[in-house]
């Protein structure tokens, strides 16, 4: 994490709806609208697409999904791309999708769960806008995607082993890439969207230079 981007824990917000009045909502909107986008990262089954669509609807933003971009480009499903061309080809396509997104505005971007595994993707994600990590515990992930037939990274003979191994590898990477983490295990998609709104507000406040300690004030002590 670069020093000017602070990961804001949102665990303390027990009832985000209380924090999301109309004025606050519009505030967040204008911050994101200032030529920026919102990027959702997180493990398979963390709800990136559903939450992204919900936010796009609320804010009248566009919604894009890097997996969908890849599917359209090659006119193949993700499992077909993995089977025909292999994972490395898919990872290159994922990087190229991010390159193609450079310069877009007012868009919610949902990414594939492995987007953080390539360090070259991180600056591209960050350049798009605030990066939100939707996290979920292992049991929740297994409930949501353990039986999924269209996720080639999950070994169907032993999805639990795959999820355990991939989570171990990726949690530090999500942490490194994210500005905000929202723990989604107990929440509906709408509640996650609410928390993103209140979390963005905190994120903006904590990154506002007015709220940083001033050098001259410290020197005066
Ligand atoms: C992957 C996650 C998938 C998709 C591909 C690889 C991964 O996206 O990009 O199957 O490596 O975790 P979702 O996170 O939307 O399932």
Q: What is the pLDDT of residues 48-79, one digit of tens each?
A: 999 999 999 988 899 999 999 999 999 999 99
Task: Say how many Å lie between the first and final Cα of the chain, rounded.
Answer: 30
CA of 44 to the centre of ligand 1 (A): 6
Of 186, 198, 167, nearest to 10 by C-alpha is: 198
Distance CA 10, CA 182 (A): 6
pTM assigned to the model: 0.84
Contact 157, 204 (CB under 8 A): no
Label residue 1 by pLDDT band (50, 70, 90).
very low
Distance CA 147, CA 139 (A): 13
Atom of ligand 1 nearest to the CA of 152: 10
- Tell whether ligand 1 has an atom less than 6 A from the beta carbon of residue 113: yes
**Distinct helix (H) and strand (E) counts, the chain:** 10, 6
Domain residue ranges of the chain, discontinuous segments joined by + = 20-203
- Tell whether ligand 1 has an atom less than 6 A from the beta carbon of residue 151: yes
CATH architecture, domain defined by 20-203: 3-Layer(aba) Sandwich (3.40)
Minimum mean pLDDT among 114-128, 129-143, 153-167: which range?
Answer: 153-167
- Please give the structure tokens belonging to residue 80: 């077909």
Burial of 88 (0-12, 13-18, 19+ CB in 10 A): exposed
CA of 166 to the centre of ligand 1 (A): 11
Distance CA 109, CA 131 (A): 10
């Amino acid at each position: 994490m670069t020093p000017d981007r602070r990961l804001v824990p949102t665990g303390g917000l027990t009832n985000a709806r209380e924090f999301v009045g109309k004025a606050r909502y519009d505030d967040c909107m204008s911050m994101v609208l200032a030529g920026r986008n919102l990027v959702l990262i997180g493990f398979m089954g963390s709800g990136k697409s559903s939450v992204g669509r919900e936010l796009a609807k609320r804010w009248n933003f566009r919604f894009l999904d890097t997996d969908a971009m890849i599917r359209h480009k090659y006119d193949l499903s993700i499992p077909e791309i993995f089977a025909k061309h292999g994972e490395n080809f898919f990872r290159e396509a994922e990087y190229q999708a991010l390159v193609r997104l450079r310069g877009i505005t007012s868009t919610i971007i949902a990414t594939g769960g492995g987007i953080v595994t390539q360090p070259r993707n991180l600056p591209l994600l960050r350049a798009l806008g605030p990066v939100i990590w939707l996290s979920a515990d292992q049991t929740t992930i297994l409930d949501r995607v353990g039986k999924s037939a269209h996720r080639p990274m999950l070994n169907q003979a032993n999805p639990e082993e795959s999820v355990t191994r991939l989570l171990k590898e990726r949690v530090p990477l999500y942490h490194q890439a994210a500005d905000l983490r929202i723990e989604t295990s107990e929440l509906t998609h709408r509640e996650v969207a609410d928390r993103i709104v209140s979390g963005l507000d905190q994120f903006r406040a904590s990154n506002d230079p007015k709220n940083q300690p001033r050098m001259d004030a410290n020197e005066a002590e």
